[in-house]
Amino acid sequence: MMKLQNKSITRSHLKVGVSTLIILLLTFRVSYSQQQPLNMDVDFKSVKIDEFVQELEKKSGYHFYYNQSHFDSLRITINLKGSTIREILNEAFKNSKYQYAIDSESNIFLTLNTKIDERLPLSLFGNFSDVSKVASKSNSVSITTLDNERVIPKQIDTKAEEKVYEVGLRTPSILPGKATISGYLREGKSGEPVVGASIFIMKPRLGVVTNENGYYSLQLPKGQQTLMVRVAGQREISRQIILYSDGTFNIDLKSQVISLKEVVVTRKSDNLAATQMGVNKINIQSIKNVPTVFGEADILKVVLTLPGVKSVGEASGGFNVRGGATDQNLILFNDATIYNPSHFFGFFSAFNPDLVKDVELYKSSIPAKYGGRLSSVLNISGREGNKKKFTGTAGIGLLTSRLNIEGPLNKDKTSFLLGGRTTYSDLIFGLMPKKSVYRNSKASFYDVNLLINHKFNEKNSVSLMGYVSDDQSDLGTDTSYSYANQNASIKWQHVFNKKLNGNFVIGYDGYKYNTESNSEYDTLGAYNLGFDINQVNFKSGLTYYLNPKHTVDFGLNSIYYKLHPGSYLPKGRSSLVTPDVLEGEQALENALYISDNYEMSPSLSFTFGVRYSHFSNLGPKTINSYAPGLPKEENNILDSTAYRNGQVSKTYQGPEIRFSARYVVNKSLSIKAGYNSLRQYIHLLSNTTAISPTDTWKLSDPNIRPQQGNQISLGLYKNFDSNALETSVEVYFKRIKNYLDYKSGAQLIMNHTIETDVINTQGKAYGAEFFIKKTAGKLNGWASYTYSRTFLKMDDPNAGELINGGEYYPANFDKPHDFTVIGNYKLSHRLSFSSNITYSTGRPITVPIGLFTYSGSLRALYGDRNSYRVPDYFRTDLSLNIDGNHKVNQVAHNSWTVGVYNLTGRKNPYSTFFTSQGGVVKGYKLSIFGTAIPFVNYNLRF
């Protein structure tokens, strides 16, 4: 209940409907209220309604409700002394169509044309959520709330908003000058930090964004302030403070009872105000609303719907950002680097959606704290465990099930979050007909996450993270494939003082695969092939709030790599396989960075960052040197040098520039520009179009140079309808140097001289991305159109043979036109429809240009690389989300998702191949999902 007598200056909007079917939108204000009638002196000269109302509210204590748009043209000029409120209003609206009504609770309603009956029930405005249809007795006016959630902040915590908090040491009077307010923004229910929320005051416009721990620090003028908090995908909330001196102020957001999830994509909370560009942030609610093939929310598949992100097809594990290769994305999950982000070769992403809070994709302005990959950073933030009580979620799908539990280990201090996901596909294979070759197939995967957070005090907290994912499969062949990610880290968050805080992370990231032959016919050649990559990281990141205009981030990142590039070992006693183990690789990568976010003026801001990266390849390792000017071939080896343990064989280093600027033209329009350069010292060796489970990673060494990229981009951002509709256009141009491609027939596995099979390739990419997003209303979602091109060129004179004669050719994922619509329509609070529509140009392929006869069969003669395209891609998915009832006190909340993937059943070609069969060449196109695929998923929260 919101009592209007309470002292409060909450601003809200309320929609009312009038039975005459005229819908009046009223803005409502509440201020100091005094019951006794007042005689006031007023003097207005051609003022707008806002000023008029403000003045009267201050003087009288009445609260005004009105729809601002109806009063746009009104200018009020009156000069009265000792008048009552009615006299003033009569005079002000004399000879106009404006009407007013005053109720017994000192509320004043201003309307156009229609007068509201003053005898309306009081309760009407006492409690918004209870308001439904109320008919008045005498007049023909009734008021109905149509859509109160649009109006009232969802997470409104009225008591907190009304209360005035005192921050700092109280002084008898407010001293002039500024003071720093800092603290944490957290979810009230679970105690989780809220990341990336804007905390600001309106006048003067000063603000800051909470960091990954939910921490903020802001220097403000002392005195009474209204601190506004804007969280991605939610409306603003406010806190009244009186700032006496430097002090701590933690804000708890009150969680709402289950509400219908909205599709909300937010560009770093405020697409206009942030200096960065090319950033997409998606919260898990949005991800969960996008229909996916098996009905389970899939982070990577949703990332693919963002402008500028592409993949070669539905079954590919990787994604390509603005023309970058799949190995040029830094995928971070709670600060841990994930080398293989997918299960079952790309059909599922390796992240349990119930444990993820949000996902940020940086594709243009990559903050200086990130580095090591050229194209993008995909930062997946996990949730924290609930610090107040034990809860959990469970989901049952056609192929996977998941269970997560969380709760306090020590109330308000320590929490844990444990989640797991697994398949039961082995079981399904077993149920298949006896004759099926797949009956004996095996395919399974699981992943487990554990997160423990402990808060020592306001200044120190520690979190422990563990993540394991594992895939096993034999695909009905006599070879079994397995791969696994393993990550663990410990993170310490420390607040040094009001202005300086930092994060320190030590972690281990690992990825390995293993392939074994199980053939009973070929025991002589039975083998076991393995690869692994391990890295130990140290990351420190500090933020210094120098003054309201400057926020400085700086830190040091170090990674020690240890790779086992391959081992090929006999399996079983009868195997004759000669054990072959490639020499390990070691390297140390260090990077120092500093960046300054400078708010030059409210309209102009810059972020200038430099990251200096330094990479050393270390022994023990024997490295070949090749005759200069000749192709790197085994017969051109001049010498080979054996480096001792820890000895540096080669160092690469250089600065990386991260610059972006923003100019706010007006309240709804801003322009941004950015320049980024990046370096990458680790490369994925893959000559398949999609990431395959036998792809390995390789470190830069004296023969393999680091990849380098730079990008220049420009963006225009315009919001309409008070930010309910966000639009943007971004254009970019990018160059890539020393991208790795391979010679014809290159052997990438177990190659002792891999440098003889790789060719340095140059790339260029450019494009324009158009994005429109509707954040509010029953229908919401986003649409994007991207025009982009990516070309590669292999013009290394020492490469020997050149692909397409050394000319530019389109990359595998060059799909010039790409159009995506994600929409969500709420039928009611329990029922919503989601849909996903995607169109793109078909990807380039290499096709035969001729035929020849060899070994008894006609065979295909291939032409230039990627000179042809598969037919265009088009897909529509639809899902219906049904929530169980929303009663707060029930033990468990459940929901269903049912839908159809690829509704039109279009056979979108994934790849083509030409194979010699029965003496002739036959061309085929392979589509992965050739029909409409229905799915159902059941979710439970307890």
Partner 1 sequence: MLAVIAEPEGAAKNLFIGLDRYYNMCGVKYTWASNTSSILVCCICMWGVIAGCRDAFEPMINAPATGYLVIEGFINSSVGRTTIQLSRTGQFAQNGPGPEARASVEIIGEKSNSYALKEKQPGIYESDLLNLTDQSCRLKIKTFDGKVYQSDLISRVETPEIDSVSWRRTSDGLRISVNTHDDSNRSKYYKWTFEETWEVRSVFTSLYKFVTKIDPVTKKPIIEAVERQPGEEKLLFFCWKSNVFDGLMLGSTAKLSRSVITQPVTFIPAESEQLGVLYSIEVEQIALDEKGYEFFNKLKTDTELSGSIFNRQPTELKGNFQCITNPAESVIGYVGFSSKKRKRIFISEVEAQWNYAVLCEIPFTILPVSDTLKKYSDRYTPLYMEPETQTTPQLLFVAGKRCVDCTSRNASNVRPVFWPN
Pick the piece of the chain touching partner 1 (CB under 8 A) from 158-166, 219-227, 755-763, 854-862: 854-862
430 sits in the region (left: phi over 0; alpha: psi -120 to 50; else beta) called alpha
Question: Can you say whether the dihedral through the CA atoms of 750, 754, 759, 761 is positive or negative?
Answer: positive
Residues 728-757 that bind partner 1 (CB under 8 A): 743-745, 747, 749-750
Q: Which stretch binds partner 1 (CB under 8 A): 226-234, 468-476, 754-762, 764-772?
A: 468-476
Cα(739)–Cα(325) distance, integer angstroms: 8
The 332-371 contact track toward partner 1, x by CB under 8 A, reads -------------xxx------------------------
Q: How far is CA 390 from the centre of its chain?
A: 27
Residue 914 sits in the site that holds partner 1 (CB under 8 A): yes
Residue (517 or 616) nearer to partner 1, CB? 517
Q: Considering the complex, state which of residue 22 and residue 851 has its C-beta at the smaller distance from partner 1.
A: 851
Residue whose CB is less far from partner 1, 105 or 478: 478
Instruction: For residue 132, give the nearest of 115, 114, 148 by alpha carbon.
Output: 148
* Angle made by CA atoms 757, 758, 761, in degrees to the nearest 5: 150
Q: What DSSP character marks residue 908?
A: -
3-state secondary structure 505-548: EEEEEEEEEEEEECCCCCCCCCEEEEEEEEEEEEEEEEEEEEEC
Task: State the helix-helix crossing angle for 85-92 and 49-60, rounded to 10 degrees.
Answer: 170
Residues 6+ apart with CB under 8 A from 362: 276, 278, 279, 370, 376, 377, 378, 379
Region of 124 (left: φ > 0; alpha: ψ -120 to 50; beta: rest) is alpha
Among 9, 398, 556, 940, binds partner 1 (CB under 8 A): 398
Place of tokens 């023969």: 703
DSSP E strands, 95-195: 98-102, 107-112, 134-135, 142-143, 164-167, 178-187
Q: Binding segment for partner 1 among 282-290, 647-655, 703-711, 857-865 (CB under 8 A)?
A: 857-865
Please give the structure tokens belonging to residue 399.
Answer: 């192929």
Residue selected from 399, 465, 754, 783 as contacting partner 1 according to rule CB under 8 A: 399
Site for partner 1 contains 496 (CB under 8 A): no
Can residue 839 be called a binding residue for partner 1 (CB under 8 A)? no
Looking at 863, 894, 940, 941, which residue binds partner 1 (CB under 8 A)?
863
Residue (475 or 648) nearer to partner 1, CB: 475
Closer to partner 1 by CB, 293 or 559: give it: 293
Nearest to 288 by CA among 726, 814, 832: 832
Judged by CB under 8 A, does residue 846 bind partner 1?
yes
Residues β-bridged to residue 212: none
Among 355-363, 453-461, 720-728, 848-856, which window interacts with partner 1 (CB under 8 A)?
Answer: 848-856
Query: Shortest distance, CB of residue 479 to partner 1, whole angstroms?
Result: 5
3 state SS of 344: helix
Which letter does DSSP use for residue 69 in this model?
A: G
Which of these ranges, 29-37, 279-287, 663-671, 909-917, lies near partner 1 under the rule CB under 8 A?
Answer: 909-917
Choosing from 390, 496, 720, 862, the residue that interacts with partner 1 (CB under 8 A) is 862
- Is 684 a binding residue for partner 1 by CB under 8 A? The answer is no
Instruction: Tell me: does residue 422 bind partner 1 (CB under 8 A).
Output: no
Looking at the Cβ atoms of 689 and 832, the one nearer to partner 1 is: 689
Short-list 558, 467, 545, CA closest to 505: 558
Q: Which two tokens stand for residue 638?
A: 């001049």
Residue 690 binds partner 1 (CB under 8 A): yes
CB atoms closer than 10 angstroms to residue 638: 10
Helical segments of 255-337, H only: 284-289, 299-303
Assigned token pair, 389: 């009580």
The mark string for 515-544 relative to partner 1 (x by CB under 8 A, - otherwise) is x-x-x-xx-xx-x-x---------------
Of the candidate residues 63, 70, 859, 875, the single one contacting partner 1 (CB under 8 A)? 859
Residues 551-590 that bind partner 1 (CB under 8 A): 566, 568, 576-578, 580
**435 is a site residue for partner 1 (CB under 8 A):** yes
Q: Which of residues 15-44 bind partner 1 (CB under 8 A)?
A: none
Of 854, 888, 889, 891, which lies in the binding site for partner 1, with binding defined by CB under 8 A?
A: 854
Q: Give whichever of 556 and 921 is closer to partner 1, judged by the CB atom.
A: 921
Cβ closest to partner 1, residue 172 vs residue 856: 856
What whole-number distance in Å separates Cα of residue 295 and Cα of residue 935?
A: 6
Q: Site for partner 1 (CB under 8 A): which residue of 689, 703, 876, 939?
A: 689
CB 785 within 8 A of CB 822: no
| Smallest separation (angstroms) from partner 1 to the CB of 575 | 8
Smallest gap, in angstroms, from Cβ of residue 756 to partner 1? 13
Is residue 425 classed as helix, strand or coil in its secondary structure? helix
CB-wise, 241 or 685, nearer to partner 1?
Answer: 685
For residue 889, the 8-state DSSP code is T
| Listed ranges 159-167, 712-720, 829-837, 913-921: which one lies at the site for partner 1 (CB under 8 A) | 913-921
CB of 449 to partner 1, least distance (A): 25
| Least separation in angstroms between CB 632 and partner 1 | 17
Binding segment for partner 1 among 69-77, 278-286, 477-485, 614-622 (CB under 8 A)?
Answer: 477-485
Q: What region, left, alpha or beta, does residue 462 occupy, with left being phi > 0 and alpha being psi -120 to 50 degrees?
A: beta
851 binds partner 1 (CB under 8 A): yes
Q: Verify binding: residue 113, partner 1, rule CB under 8 A.
A: no
Listing DSSP states for 729-762 in one string gives: EEEEEEEEEEEEEE-TT---TT-TTGGGTEEEEE
Site membership for partner 1, residue 858 (CB under 8 A): yes
Nearer to partner 1, 839 or 868 (CB): 868
Instruction: Work out which of 32, 93, 165, 438 binds partner 1, going by CB under 8 A.
Output: 438
Tell which one of 668, 857, 894, 904 touches partner 1 (CB under 8 A): 857
Q: How far apart are CA 203 and CA 32, in angstroms?
A: 21
Position 921 contacts partner 1 (CB under 8 A): yes
Under the criterion CB under 8 A, does residue 325 sit at the interface with partner 1?
Answer: no
Q: How far is CA 276 from CA 39, 254, 577, 592, 676, in A?
A: 53, 29, 55, 20, 11
Could you say which residues in the range 239-258 bind partner 1, by CB under 8 A?
A: none
Rounded least distance, CB 429 to partner 1, Å: 7
Closest separation between CB of residue 687 and partner 1, Å?
A: 6
| Residue count of the chain | 942
Amino acid identity, position 314:
E
Least distance to partner 1, CB of residue 904, Å: 13
Q: Does 868 bind partner 1 (CB under 8 A)?
A: yes
In the structure encoding, which two tokens stand for residue 58, read together?
């201050």
Residues near partner 1 (CB under 8 A), total: 99
Is residue 633 at the binding interface for partner 1, with CB under 8 A as the rule?
Answer: no
Q: 742-769 burial string, b = 16+ CB within 10 Å, else e? A: bbeeeebbbbeebbbbbbbbbbebbbeb
Q: Is 479 in the site for partner 1 (CB under 8 A)?
A: yes
Distance CA 35, CA 61 (A): 8
Which of residues 39, 436, 497, 622 is near partner 1 by CB under 8 A?
436
Q: Is there binding between residue 925 and partner 1 (CB under 8 A)?
A: yes
Burial class (CB in 10 A: 0-12, 13-18, 19+), 771: buried
Among 177, 204, 797, 919, binds partner 1 (CB under 8 A): 919
Restricting to residues 253-312, which ones interact with partner 1 according to CB under 8 A? Answer: 293-294
| Cis status, amide bond into 620, omega within 30 of 0 | yes
In DSSP terms, 696 is beta-bridged to: 685
